[in-house]
Structure formats: C-alpha cells, structure tokens
A = this chain, B = another copy of it.
C-alpha cells in the first residue's frame, strides 16, 4: 500500500497550567534545553524531529531533555511514523508564566571569551 495519510498521533503532554514555578525554572536552567527551545522557536511547528537538533549531547541525554520539556508543558509532540515531531507550546506557556519563555528565546548565545567553560580546556 502506498503511503496514505501519515498517522500522526499526539502523545500525552503536561498542561502548563499545572506546572509549578519550581519545575519551570529547573527546566529552563539547563542550557541544552534552552537550546532546544530556541531551535524550535525558529522553525515551523511540527517540522523538527528529535534527531535533527544539533545538540552537544548523546541521543540518550537528548531524549531525557525532551522528556523534561514535555513534562513541563513546554512542548507538545506528535509521533509521525518513526519520528517524533515537536511544537513549542508558546502561547500556553506564556499564559502560565508571562515573559519567561520570551527571555529564553531572546537569550544571546553569549559569545564571550569563554569565561564560563567547565574545566581547564587549556585551549587558545
């Protein structure tokens, strides 16, 4: 059978209304998760699969971060075949925490001279 309509199934996601500020801040306090959110904000909805993100971590870790974001009501995901497409729940999250997501999306990539790097890179 030729490909018919893709069976896109929405999976359970947390409603931002039920998210305590504690969880929201913890979720956003991770740089990888913020990178995911910023990437997602720059694309049409439901066009990026998890694997297409350019993240500095392994697949397992990335999956963990997606789960956290979903649990915090920050994104909604849809299974389309083997891929899992994401959408940023911008309006919903903004209704719960006005301005918070905006700060994240507007974050500068801090191109500084790497004062914040984790350990002795001994580079440059």
Residues of chain A at the chain B interface (Cβ within 8 Å) = 20-22, 25-26, 28-29, 31, 34, 97-100, 102-104, 107, 110, 116
Contacts and interface: CB of A to CB of B under 8 A. Distances in A.
B99 A21 contact: no
Contact of A99 (B26, B28, B100, B110): B100
A20 B97 CA distance: 20
A25 B104 CA distance: 10
Contact of A22 (B22, B31, B102): B31
Q: Which of A20, A25, A98 has the most CB of B within 10 A?
A: A25
Contacts of A28: 25
Q: Interface of chain A, helix or strand or loop or mixed?
A: helix
B25 A29 contact: yes
B100 A103 contact: yes
A11 to B, nearest CB: 23
Contacts of A21: 34, 103-104, 107
A97 B110 CA distance: 15
Contacts of A104: 21
A20 B116 contact: yes
A26 B34 CA distance: 13
Top 4 nearest A-B pairs by Cβ distance?
A99-B99, A25-B29, A29-B29, A21-B107
